[in-house]
């Protein structure tokens, strides 16, 4: 991946969505409805999927409103800069929920937004007087971008590059706030019509007093609690209650503005997610994720808005990811321990540290999502070694598949049970430490097979690798996973080995120009050639 992010295309993407371990990774999204009933039958004895619900403050069994179909929303970032590894720990939680549900044979509808307007620097104080993060970023960036929309497109593209590098599945819909202004205006109008909002000279506010249950998600209920969190902000003197939050900010001079019934301005941050989630998931959906910092006020405000718009519970399960530390300290730029994804995975010549993105993904999964996690260089180094073990095992399996020697299946009684244990751990409130430890036992088993890794055993091992990757996303990136499942890797190996034989013959005859040309051809195919005294080996480069 280069240091330059491409402009992001934020349309709904059709992606491969494997549905359970009995269906190969090449099952196409368009065929999902055909296989769903079969998957649910095959997974009838599957473990119960349980998650910690911030609303009930306990681990609850996830029971979708629509049988076998999980519909959920994940708060995405504000695209005013590069997302950091703490952001991606939260995004990874949503990815693992999606993968686990699919492994159970469920259909999933996953929506994750992009906030490209309306997030104020003081939004954590539910007050509309802070500077807009997008506008502040444009001022900071100087002449780098022609306008604020270019800045948003650039950092959205960077988000997608990092998203794919860490092997996160694409959401079914990735809506942008700027493309849903009409939805937000209509939502504000409905709240006003129902007596839950009012207008002042500075904006339109949600009236917390009209929703007695405000605070039930976070526990921040009293006006005094809110005032205790406030720092030096300018209050709107016409606000009726210090807890009231902005739905629309009147500002005819703002860099991003739209005309509304209340004049020119832009939406409040909280109304954006309410409008976009209900636009794609309906007035009632199953689950909502985000970082722990979003529980209050953002998600608390969403609860109030949603339930006043619908008159009923709109989200059944709220899942929050805890913060991470870096080397035992809070991550901050002033401490020098603040990392974006690209700080770590970009090659050294581009200013990065050359970390395998799958190793970074593995590290961010090493701690369970709802416990604080300490990100260290040692953990990252250990993760890189483990990822290499998975890739080595996959190469062993590929070689055995090509040889296809006859013999009994020595993995039939071990690897399926290993996968079942890994899935059970993921269903246990995304217990990733246990899931990773269990899956690693499968790798050790494969590497310990030796001569017993015959054709039949290799086919079971290949299926285990594909299924484990579908669930955890740590072995191959999406394109490589499809190749492993369809046998494309075997075809690739045949082609690569033929080219290496030709290269060896060219070197033997002294035709070094031809040998170099073959190596360049292999490099263009994404193949890394490694010459050693005892022979030449090769491997696929990481797909970014």
Query: Residue 462 domain-assigned?
Result: yes
Say if pTM beats, i.e. exceeds, 0.75: yes
Residue 43 banded pLDDT, cuts 50, 70, 90: low
What average pLDDT does the segment 93-113 reach?
97
Mean pLDDT confidence for 98-115:
97
pLDDT recorded at residue 489: 56
DSSP 114-158: BB-S--BTTGGGT-TTSPBHHHHHHHHHTTS-SSHHHHHHHHHHH
For residue range 380-407, list pLDDT tens digits in order.
999 999 999 999 999 999 999 998 889 9
Binding residues for Zn(2+): 75, 273, 298, 302
| Same domain, yes or no: 196 and 62 | yes
Q: What is the mean pLDDT of residues 149-175?
A: 94
Q: What mean pLDDT do residues 242-251 have?
A: 91
Same domain, 79 and 119: yes
Q: Do residue 443 and residue 533 come from a single domain?
A: no
- Average pLDDT in the 127-134 region? 58
**Helical residues (DSSP H) of 194-238, grouped into ranges:** 223-229
For residue 259, with 0-12 CB atoms within 10 Å meaning exposed, 13-18 middle and 19 or more buried, which class applies? exposed
The least confident of 353-367, 405-419, 473-487 is: 473-487
Domain endpoint, select from 443, 459, 486: 486
Which of 95-104, 218-227, 450-459 is predicted with the least confidence, judged by mean pLDDT?
Answer: 218-227
Is there a single domain that holds both residue 128 and residue 209?
A: yes
Q: How many CB atoms neighbour CB 232 within 10 A? A: 7
Inside any domain, residue 124: yes
Same domain, 170 and 291: yes
Backbone phi and psi for residue 182, each to the nearest 5 degrees, phi listed first: -60, -40
pLDDT over 90, % of the chain: 62
The predicted model gives 475-493 an average pLDDT of 63
Instruction: Say if residue 481 is in the same domain as residue 499.
Output: no
Number of other residues whose CB lies within 10 A of the CB of residue 45: 6
356 and 444 co-located in one domain: yes
In this structure, the answer to whether residues 482 and 495 fall within a common structural domain is: no
Question: Using 50, 70 and 90 to split pLDDT, how confident is the model at 335?
Answer: confident
Is the predicted pLDDT of residue 8 greater than 50, yes or no? Answer: no
Are residues 479 and 498 both part of a single domain?
no
Band (491; pLDDT cuts 50, 70, 90): low
pLDDT of residue 220: 83
User: What pLDDT is attached to residue 498?
Assistant: 86
Residues 519 and 436 in one domain: no
> Domain of 437?
341-486
What integer pLDDT is reported at residue 35 of this predicted model? Answer: 46
pLDDT at 483: 56
Give me the number of domains the chain comprises.
Answer: 3
What mean pLDDT do residues 450-475 have?
A: 96
Whether 516 and 399 map to the same domain: the answer is no
Q: Which one has a higher pLDDT value, 506 or 434?
A: 434
Instruction: Provide the pLDDT for residue 271.
Output: 95
Residue positions forming the annotated binding site:
75, 273, 298, 302, 333
pLDDT at 494 over 80: no
Of 405, 472, 465, the C-alpha closest to 92 is 472
* Average pLDDT of span 163-167: 95
Q: Lowest-pLDDT range, 226-230, 251-255, 496-500?
A: 226-230
Q: What is the pLDDT of residue 233?
A: 35
Confidence of residue 468 (pLDDT cuts 50, 70, 90): very high
Q: Categorise residue 432: left if φ over 0, alpha if ψ from -120 to 50, beta otherwise.
A: alpha
User: Across the chain, what does the average pLDDT equal?
Assistant: 84
> Residue 409's pLDDT is what?
96
Binding-site residues for ATP: 333
Which range of 318-332, 335-349, 458-472 scores highest in mean pLDDT? It is: 458-472
pLDDT band at 148 (very low <50, low <70, confident <90, very high): confident
H/E stretch holding 99 reads helix 85-103
Beta bridge partners of 120: 132
In a domain, 444, yes or no: yes
Answer whether 311's CB lies under 8 Å from 280's CB.
Answer: no
């Amino acid at each position: 991946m280069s240091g330059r992010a491409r402009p992001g295309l934020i349309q709904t993407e059709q992606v491969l969505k494997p549905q359970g371990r009995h269906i190969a990774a090449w099952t196409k999204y368009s065929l999902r409805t055909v296989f769903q009933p079969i998957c649910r039958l095959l997974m009838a004895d599957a473990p119960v999927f349980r998650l910690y619900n911030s609303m009930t403050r306990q681990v609850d069994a996830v029971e979708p409103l629509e049988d076998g179909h999980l519909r959920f929303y994940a708060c995405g970032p504000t695209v005013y800069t590069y997302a950091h590894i703490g952001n991606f720990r939260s995004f990874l939680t949503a990815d693992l929920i999606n993968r686990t549900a699919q492994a159970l044979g469920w259909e999933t509808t996953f929506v994750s937004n992009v906030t490209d307007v309306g997030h104020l620097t003081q939004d954590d104080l539910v007050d509309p007087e802070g500077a807009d993060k997008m506008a502040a970023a444009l001022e900071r960036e100087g002449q780098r971008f022609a306008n604020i929309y270019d800045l948003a497109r650039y950092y959205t593209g960077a988000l997608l590059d990092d998203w794919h590098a860490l092997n996160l599945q694409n959401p079914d819909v990735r809506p942008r706030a700027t493309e849903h202004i009409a939805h937000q205006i209509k939502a504000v109008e409905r709240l006003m019509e129902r007596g839950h909002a009012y207008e002042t000279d500075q904006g339109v506010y949600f009236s917390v007093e009209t929703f007695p249950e405000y605070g039930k998600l976070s526990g921040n209920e009293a006006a005094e609690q809110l005032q205790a969190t406030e720092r030096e902000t300018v209050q709107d003197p016409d606000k009726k209650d210090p807890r009231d939050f902005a739905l629309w900010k009147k500002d005819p001079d703002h860099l991003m503005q739209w005309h509304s019934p209340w004049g020119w301005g832009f939406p409040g941050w909280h109304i954006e997610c309410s409008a976009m989630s209900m636009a794609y998931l309906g007035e009632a959906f199953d689950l909502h994720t985000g970082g722990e910092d979003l529980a209050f006020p953002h998600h608390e405000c969403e609860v109030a808005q949603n339930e006043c718009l619908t008159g009923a519970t709109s989200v059944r399960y709220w899942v929050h990811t805890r913060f991470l530390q870096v080397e035992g300290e809070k991550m901050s730029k002033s401490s020098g321990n603040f990392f974006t994804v690209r700080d770590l995975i970009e090659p050294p010549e581009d200013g990065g540290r050359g970390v395998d993105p799958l190793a970074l993904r593995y590290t961010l999964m090493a701690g369970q999502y709802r416990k604080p996690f300490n990100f260290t260089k040692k953990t990252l180094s250990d993760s890189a070694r483990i990822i290499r073990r998975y890739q080595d095992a996959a190469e062993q399996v590929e070689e055995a598949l090509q040889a296809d020697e006859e013999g009994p299946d020595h993995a039939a009684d071990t690897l399926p049970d290993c996968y079942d244990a890994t899935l059970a751990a993921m269903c246990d409130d995304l217990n990733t430490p246990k899931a990773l430890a269990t899956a690693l036992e499968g790798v050790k088993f494969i590497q310990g097979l030796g001569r017993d890794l015959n054709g039949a055993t290799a086919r079971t091992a290949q299926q285990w690798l594909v299924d484990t990757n579908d669930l955890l996303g740590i072995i191959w990136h999406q394109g490589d996973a499809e190749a492993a499942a369809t046998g494309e890797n075997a075809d690739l190996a045949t082609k690569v080995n033929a080219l290496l034989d030709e290269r060896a013959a060219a070197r033997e005859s002294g035709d070094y120009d031809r040998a170099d040309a073959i190596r360049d051809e292999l490099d263009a195919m994404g193949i890394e050639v490694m010459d050693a005294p005892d022979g030449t080996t090769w491997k696929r480069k990481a797909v970014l």
